[in-house]
């Protein structure tokens, strides 16, 4: 299918497909770590265990993954804008 679209469009699609996955992965892992942190807080509260370091560790993990997601997302935006760059000569109108 990509060969029917032409090499330029196929290259843009390839860049978008390969660049999108790490950011989505980091966002999903961050959300999962927040869920695990909330679960750990409930378990610690129900068992009367005083191990605040568990909640702090999961919170720090979630923040680190969120930071990785944001950096990866900015990288994707930069790659995407570079991939769809249009030269100025195409933007100029021909003389009347």
Q: Domain limits at 29?
A: 2-83
62 within domain boundaries: yes
96 within domain boundaries: no
pLDDT of 4 > 80? The answer is no
pLDDT digits (tens, 9 = 90+) for 34-92: 999 999 999 989 999 888 898 899 999 999 999 999 998 898 888 878 877 777 777 77
Q: Is the pLDDT higher at 4 or at 12? A: 12
92 within domain boundaries: no
Provide the pLDDT for residue 34.
92
56 within domain boundaries: yes
- Helices 52-83 and 7-46 meet at what angle, rounded to 10? 170
* 39's tokens: 């679960």
Provide the pLDDT for residue 89.
73
Number of domains in the chain: 1
In this prediction, residue 2 has a pLDDT band, given cuts at 50, 70 and 90, of very low
Instruction: Determine the Cα–Cα distance for residues 95 and 90; give it in Å rounded to an integer.
Output: 13
């Amino acid at each position: 299918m990509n060969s029917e679209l032409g090499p330029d469009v196929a290259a843009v699609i390839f860049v978008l497909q390969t660049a999108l996955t790490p950011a989505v992965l980091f966002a999903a892992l961050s959300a999962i770590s927040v869920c695990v942190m909330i679960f750990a807080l409930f378990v610690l509260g129900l068992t009367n265990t005083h191990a605040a370091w568990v909640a702090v560790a999961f919170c720090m993990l979630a923040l680190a993954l969120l930071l990785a997601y944001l950096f990866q997302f900015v990288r994707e935006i930069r790659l995407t804008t570079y991939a769809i760059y249009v030269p100025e000569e195409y933007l100029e109108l021909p003389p009347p």
